[in-house]
């Protein structure tokens, strides 16, 4: 008998591993965070079986079974030192069909505690969308402040924080694409869902007051409106510290990256200052670049946020303590 679990039960279980048996292309597009890909059909095989199935379903099943058997045999040896019969293992394919059932049958017959996700990855995605479109149970505290004030490092160093920039792999500004390729929309949603679920029982969640778009990604409307309505703390930092932080953060960008980013902001900056920033970059004066961009672009273009509390940034420990004190009083 196949042991199946609904998505609600599946997400609550303590699996040693979640095995995604879909093709590498399906997995690369998006997957359950931390799931490992053990494809029972590779991309070419998956496409070949799909084409043959339309012509002769029985022959497709025979050929598919041969591919699946060969691939599972390879995965078993690779997984031997990773999985244990002492803890349950989650398994899924796209819809909970033959691909995952085949792997389930083999693992179960050996003695592993295999659990099949009912409805497969499709049921997981339905739950992600439902969750992100529903009212969130979290109590947020939102950090606002000028570019370079240190909000990102406060968020990244805080235990109970939703680090949107890290999840989106983008710093949210015209120069924010320093982390390379961003995740797909589905992957971004999956990562948000996982992190939000993990933060449900925390006293409050620290978050930065990002705009709705982070690079090429759009935040879910419910999440965005929820943290925008939350109490906001202004992080206050002297200009010289902001310049230093921006110089350190962006100091290694390439000339091509800099040129592309400068083209994006050209319509929003006086030509004189825009050219001064380019000249400073070309002579290696990065602190001057940072100062010009902060004073003549970011501080002028970015809207001023309302807030109910101010914390002068001196040290991380000092800021963390001040945030905790504020939250304790606000959410008492």
- For 59-71, what is each residue's pLDDT tens digit? 888 988 999 999 9
pLDDT per residue as tens digits for the range 102-145:
999 999 999 999 999 999 999 999 999 999 999 999 999 999 99
Task: State the Cα–Cα distance between residues 33 and 83, nearest whole angstrom.
Answer: 17
Q: Is the pLDDT of residue 199 over 80?
A: yes
pLDDT tier at 1, thresholds 50, 70, 90: low
Considering the chain, what percentage of its residues have pLDDT values greater than 70?
99
Mean pLDDT of 254-261: 94
The number of CA neighbours under 13 Å toward the Cβ of 190 is 20
Q: What is the mean pLDDT of residues 242-255?
A: 92
Question: For a pLDDT cut of 90, what percent of the chain falls above it?
Answer: 87
Q: What is the mean pLDDT of residues 299-323?
A: 94
Residue with token string 């703390």: 233
pLDDT in tens, 138-152: 999 999 999 999 999
β strands within the chain, DSSP E: 4-5, 17-20, 36-37, 89-92, 114-117, 140-144, 161-162, 205-208, 213-214, 217-218, 232-236, 309-312
Q: How far apart are CA 82 and CA 71, in angstroms?
A: 17
Catalytic machinery residues: 93
pLDDT value for 208: 97
What pLDDT is recorded for position 60? 87
């Amino acid at each position: 008998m196949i042991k199946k679990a609904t998505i609600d039960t599946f997400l609550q279980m303590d699996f040693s591993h979640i095995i995604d048996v879909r093709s590498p292309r399906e997995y690369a597009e998006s997957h359950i965070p931390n799931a490992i890909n053990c494809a029972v059909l590779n991309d070419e095989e998956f496409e070949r079986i799909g084409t043959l199935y339309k012509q002769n379903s029985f022959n497709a099943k025979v050929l598919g079974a041969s591919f699946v058997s060969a691939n599972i045999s390879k995965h078993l040896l690779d997984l031997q030192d990773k999985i244990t019969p002492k803890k349950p293992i989650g398994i899924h394919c796209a819809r909970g069909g033959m691909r995952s059932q085949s792997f389930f049958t083999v693992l179960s017959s050996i003695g592993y505690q295999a659990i099949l996700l009912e409805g497969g990855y499709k049921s997981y995605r339905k739950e992600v969308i439902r969750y992100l479109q529903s009212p969130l149970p979290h109590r947020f505290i939102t950090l606002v402040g000028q570019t370079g004030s240190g909000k990102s490092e406060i968020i990244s160093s805080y235990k109970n924080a939703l680090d949107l920039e890290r999840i989106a792999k983008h710093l949210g500004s015209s120069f924010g694409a320093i982390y390379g390729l961003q995740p797909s929309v589905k992957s971004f949603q999956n990562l948000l869902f996982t992190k939000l679920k993990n933060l449900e029982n925390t006293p409050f969640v620290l978050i930065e007051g990002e705009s709705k778009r982070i690079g090429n990604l759009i935040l879910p409307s419910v999440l965005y409106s929820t943290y925008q309505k939350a109490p906001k703390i202004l992080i206050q930092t002297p200009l010289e510290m902001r310049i230093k932080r921006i110089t350190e953060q962006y100091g290694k960008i390439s000339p091509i990256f800099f040129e592309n980013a400068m083209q994006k902001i050209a319509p929003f900056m006086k030509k004189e200052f825009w050219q001064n920033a380019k000249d400073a970059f070309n002579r290696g004066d990065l602190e001057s670049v940072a100062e010009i961009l902060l004073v003549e672009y970011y501080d002028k273009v970015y809207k001023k946020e309302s807030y109910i509390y101010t914390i002068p940034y001196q040290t991380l420990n000092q800021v963390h303590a001040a945030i905790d004190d504020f939250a304790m009083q606000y959410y008492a």
